[in-house]
Amino acid sequence: MSAPESAAFVTVRDLKKTFDVSKPWLERMIERAPKQFLKAVDGVTFDIKKGETFALVGESGSGKSTVARMVVGLLPVTGGEVMVDGVSMTTTVDSAQREKLRRRIQMIFQDPYASLNPRWRVQDIIAEPIRAFNLLSSQKDIADRVGELLTLVGLSPLDGVKFPHQFSGGQRQRVAIARALASNAEFIVCDEPTSALDVSVQAQILNLMRDLQDKMGLTYLFISHNLAVVRHMASSIGVMYLGRLTEVSQAKEMFRAPRHPYTRMLLDAVPDLGMSGRARVPVQGEIPSPINPPSGCTFHPRCPLVMDRCRAEAPLPINGVACHAVEEGRMGAMTARKSA
Amino acid sequence: MAATDAPKPTLRQRLNDSDLWLAFKDSPIAVAAAITTVLIFVLAFFAPVFAPQDAFNPAALNLMDGFTHPMERGAGSSMLFVLGSDAQGRDMLSALFYGTRVSLIVGLCSVGFSMVLGISLGLIAGYVGGRVEQLIMRIADIQLSFPGLLIALLIFGVARGLIPPNKHETTALFVIIIAIGLAHWAQYARTVRASAMVERNKDYVQAARLIGIKGLPIMAKHILPNVMGPVLVIATINLALAVIEEATLSFFGVGMPVTQPSLGTLIRFGQQYLMSGEWWILLFPALTIVILGLAINLLGDWLRDAMNPKLR
Amino acid sequence: MTQPVLSVRNLKVEFVTRRGTLRAIDDVSFDIAPGEVLGVVGESGAGKSLTGTAIIGLIDPPGRIAGGEILLQGKRIDNLDKESLRRIRGKRIGMIFQDPLTSLNPLFKISEQLVETIQTHSDMDAGQARQRAIDLLTEVGIPAPEKRIDGYPHEFSGGMRQRVVIALALAAEPELIIADEPTTALDVSVQAQIITLLKKLCRERGTAVMLVTHDMGVIAETADRVAVMYAGRIAEIGPVREVVQHARHPYAKGLMGAIPTLKATASRLVQIPGSMPRLTAIPRGCAFNPRCSEVFARCHVERPDTIKVGKSQVACWLYDTKKEAAA
């Protein structure tokens, strides 16, 4: 019996997305080629508690951005379910309910140069959700609210009349954050929000996001490929590889004692600013094409702990880790990380 | 942490500061072309003010003035005909003003019509995609393989058949505008479709979808402003083309009626008299078309180069 | 004291635009010794890529070198004509750019590109050049090079392509390699491989490397010395350990503090208020003064000299001991 406060705010169950990447019909007929499918997301399950940040980490082809877009409703799901505050995003047919839900979920995108309409003034960009959801009606109220939001993200209300190109990348991301907050959203999906920004600007934006979370009780799903950034933002982390979750843990635990070999590999690959001279586990190979993934555990061609079972059977997540070696207790074979 | 505290720049300051204006000032050709174009526009649209004679009003003409040489006085009315007069005593200078006005109206309206049609279809094709896009693009492809003039002739012929003869003269202007307009929409559709396809994948469109904005408002409010750039360049160049096409159609006799002669009609008149020595009836309208076409084309060329970010 | 492979003295690069002349690089000086890896670090707009481009003479108008000298093995190369510069590029200075997709010509096989480079800068015939190409591919870690050498760039993955680009850069045995963000477009796990490879190969050959990047982590692992650039100037330059762990210039300090690391740290990252000034609005005196937490009067007026502090050089009035001594 779980107390209501610890019930998950966002629930993702067995989320799947398959893209049809077959060649055009005519070519297929001529070449007698079969249809080709890309399993971008293959059964992803996780929970996010209210007011917390869950990070989804992975390299290219891992499917993390696809998961983000499905959670937010921009991409239709091929299978599985997404529930926010008890209401299903994926199966709810009642459009009034979906509308209500839509207002509470927003997204911040990666590219600050493409996420704001270059021909709109900033005040209109931020006011758009307010107008779309009919949150305020009088022009003056809307203008005041836009000014409030701009101040909240560290800009000046006078900046509203400007166009996006008059701002720097970091400032544009602030505008994007203001827009996400304009609908009074409670759950914000952030798709690599700082990857395109300089380091010092990234620090400003990450700090801002944390401050807003503390102030307003926001829940974040934070997508990133940068483990160090995730360290500063997330309370729980899920690591994705080729469409599947390899490990889900509390952040502190994951950094202290990573379990899955891929997680360990990722951590080792993060360049060491502290130059503690830690020993490195040899990193092998590159990410295979998602159209023809390896059999069994998709990580097996690169895994230092690979055995026959790994080639044949895809591991199921046990205690948040999907790895045969972990299940069988073979972890010691990898070189231990010197703790930082 | 405020972005800037500088006072909001005035429109004039913003214009003065913009790259486009600076590029314009630097290019003598663009400036010359612009001045010429503006001059011609003003003279044409304010023809009643500038023209010495009301060239379209048969009552104002004096047959005795016919075939007056340039810079001479007419035999009948003793008016000074700066550029000479035609067979009916029409002052060529005034005829040029009025005729250019007709040509420009046809040019501007037909370009406007193609733009509206082409941009709408292009937006729909680019944003909606799928079968709709295929359909629109195939029609556009087919149309582009025919010369614009032939299509205009075809449409004109069809209109002639459909409209009762007594209405031909009054509707001639509309028919020509629609004919030339329909001949050229495909270019706009193609460009806009390509731009729309790029824009629809951008995050700001996804952000709009996220708050529940549907297709039509997204196309109109979000995508349209961002695809207009190349359209303006095409429009400028097409304007010159439209003027020339109208002149060609009128020259063939299928364009504007003789009571409202455009530049092309005037050339048709003049052609008859070329061999008998009244060269001015042909020459001045022809020169006007050339100058107008050249000025607009140069302006369009410059605009395209100035707006190409890679060349800046 | 061995002669440095590359010596940049008081380099100035300007852009002449309709709005006036913008100085993108303003009096930058540094040396690179043989076999040394110098990291050039900075944020967007600092001028680090431009420095690399200036050295190899590939600045397009309206940009131009407006002052200073660039010396390769003691001889000036900034004042050479186009043809001589072209010969130096590739033979004595190798280049690695960020995007392996555009560094390799997609229409030509890898073998053709490698052999062409090798033959341009040596006297080998086609057969020898091909063998050398295969040897190079083996060195950079391409499996089954004899087969893969006849492939096209799109048949290789991102990491493999970057290895080929490294092979191309090393093909003529250059004395200096300029690498501009060589790992930014790659996945994290591949980045580590490429960095290790580059380091190993250059160490073996004694090639000097100028590594331009915004990624401090890459610098920390690879470079011997690092120069931190800001608004077209060098803020601090010194041994990597010193600059990374004990940065002195307030900007460098702020930068190091802003970088998120895997260590358990305080909840807030150090943040430097504001952003780098645009080229049209570089402040008088020290370019960093509007954002500096330790600014004082002199900073607004005089541009700081480069002052020796420990083994580093810092462009900051805070370290001006002469004044203190005089006071």
The tens digit of pLDDT for each residue in B120-159 reads 999 999 999 889 999 999 999 998 888 888 888 888 888 8
pLDDT in tens, C47-82: 888 999 899 888 888 888 888 999 998 888 888 888
Model confidence at C97, pLDDT cuts 50, 70, 90, reads: confident
Mean pLDDT for B161-178 is 81
Its ipTM equals: 0.84
Mean pLDDT value across chain C: 87
- Whole-angstrom Cα distance, residue A110 to residue B207? 12
The most confident of A205-219, B55-69, C199-213, C250-264, by mean pLDDT: A205-219
Mutate to test the interface with B, among A119, A161, A204 (most CBs of B within 10 A): A119
- Whole-angstrom Cα distance, residue C153 to residue A200? 35
pLDDT in tens, A240-282: 999 999 999 999 889 888 888 888 888 887 776 766 555 555 5
Whether residue B204 and residue A116 make contact (CB cut-off 8 A), yes or no, is: yes
Mean pLDDT for A26-43 is 83
Model confidence at B1, pLDDT cuts 50, 70, 90, reads: very low
- Supply the pLDDT for residue B39: 86
- Supply the pLDDT for residue A340: 35
Q: Does A135 touch chain C (CB under 8 A)?
A: no
Model confidence at C327, pLDDT cuts 50, 70, 90, reads: very low
Percent of chain A surpassing pLDDT 90: 43
- Supply the pLDDT for residue A310: 84
C191, C27 Cβ separation under 8 angstroms: no
Q: How far is CA B227 from CA A118, B124, B199, C190, in A?
A: 11, 13, 8, 39
CA dihedral C167, C170, C173, C174 (to 10 degrees): 160
Q: Are strands A236-241 and A219-224 parallel, antiparallel or unpaired?
A: unpaired
SS3 per-residue string spanning chain A: CCCHHHCEEEEEEEEEEEEECCCCHHHHHHHCCCCCEEEEEEEEEEEEECCCEEEEECCCCCCHHHHHHHHHCCCCCCEEEEEECCEECCCCCCHHHHHHHHHHEEEECCCCCCCCCCCCCHHHHHHHHHHHCCCCCCHHHHHHHHHHHHHHCCCCHHHHHCCHHHCCHHHHHHHHHHHHHHCCCCEEEEECCCCCCCHHHHHHHHHHHHHHHHHHCCEEEEEECCHHHHHHHCCEEEEEECCEEEEEEEHHHHHHCCCCHHHHHHHHHCCCCCCCCCCCCCCCCCCCCCCCCCCCCCCHHHCCCCCHHHHHCCCCCECCECCHHHHCCCHHHCCCCCCC
Length of chain C: 327
H-type helices in chain B, by residue range? 11-17, 19-26, 28-45, 47-50, 92-128, 130-144, 148-162, 168-200, 203-210, 215-217, 224-252, 263-274, 280-307
Percent of chain B surpassing pLDDT 90: 20
Whether residue C214 and residue A267 make contact (CB cut-off 8 A), yes or no, is: no
3-state DSSP assignment of residue C255 = helix
- Whole-angstrom Cα distance, residue B90 to residue A3? 97
- Supply the pLDDT for residue A292: 82
Which among C242, C178, C175 has a CA at the least distance from the CA of C211? Answer: C178
Phi-psi region of A12 (alpha: psi -120 to 50; beta: other; left: phi over 0): beta
Whether residue C192 and residue A60 make contact (CB cut-off 8 A), yes or no, is: no
3-state DSSP assignment of residue C31 = strand
pLDDT above 90 for A315: no
pLDDT above 80 for A5: no
- Supply the pLDDT for residue B186: 92
Whether residue A106 and residue B210 make contact (CB cut-off 8 A), yes or no, is: yes
pTM: 0.84
Sort out which chain A residues have CB atoms less than 8 A from B5's CB and list them.
156, 158
Which among A134, A168, A130 has a CA at the least distance from the CA of A146? Answer: A130
Mean pLDDT for B253-282 is 81
- Supply the pLDDT for residue B67: 79
Which among A83, A175, A172, A187 has a CA at the least distance from the CA of A123? Answer: A175
- Chains in touch with B (≥3 Cβ pairs < 8 A): A, C
Q: Which of B4, B212, B226 sits opposite A102 (nearest CB)?
A: B212
Model confidence at A211, pLDDT cuts 50, 70, 90, reads: very high
- Supply the pLDDT for residue B17: 56
pLDDT above 50 for A19: yes
Q: Does B1 touch chain C (CB under 8 A)?
A: yes
Percent of chain B surpassing pLDDT 70: 91
Q: Which of B1, B19, B22 sits opposite C273 (nearest CB)?
A: B1
- Supply the pLDDT for residue B308: 66
pLDDT above 60 for A1: no
Q: Does C273 touch chain B (CB under 8 A)?
A: yes
Q: How far is CA A137 from CA A60, A121, C31, in A?
A: 43, 19, 64
Whether residue A171 and residue B225 make contact (CB cut-off 8 A), yes or no, is: no
Per the listing, tokens 């006297």 go with C123
DSSP letter for each residue of C128-157 = HHHHHHHHHHHHTT-SSHHHHTTS-GGGS-
Inter-chain CB pairs, A–C, below 8 Å: 126
Backbone angles phi, psi at C216, to 5 degrees: -65, -30
The DSSP H or E segment spanning C307 is strand C307-309
pLDDT above 50 for C225: yes
Mean pLDDT for C141-159 is 87
Mean pLDDT for A20-38 is 81
* Single-letter amino acid, residue C117: T
CA dihedral B131, B134, B140, B142 (to 10 degrees): -110
Please name the residue of chain C whose CA is at the shortest distance from the CA of residue B17: C19
Closest-CA distance, C20 to chain B, in angstroms, reads 12
C158, C187 Cβ separation under 8 angstroms: yes
Instruction: Say which DSSP state C237 is in.
Output: E
* Strand partners of residue A219: A187
Which among B256, B206, B236 has a CA at the least distance from the CA of B112? Answer: B236
Model confidence at B15, pLDDT cuts 50, 70, 90, reads: low
Q: Which of B1, B203, B209 sits opposite A114 (nearest CB)?
A: B203
- Whole-angstrom Cα distance, residue A183 to residue A181? 6
Mean pLDDT for C95-106 is 82
The most confident of B14-23, C4-13, C138-147, by mean pLDDT: C4-13
Mutate to test the interface with A, among B10, B13, B203 (most CBs of A within 10 A): B203
Least confident segment among A169-173, B174-178, C89-93, C185-189: C185-189
Name the token pair of A43.
């059964």
Mutate to test the interface with C, among A167, A198, A250, A284 (most CBs of C within 10 A): A198
Mean pLDDT for C205-219 is 89
- Supply the pLDDT for residue B159: 84
- Supply the pLDDT for residue C324: 46
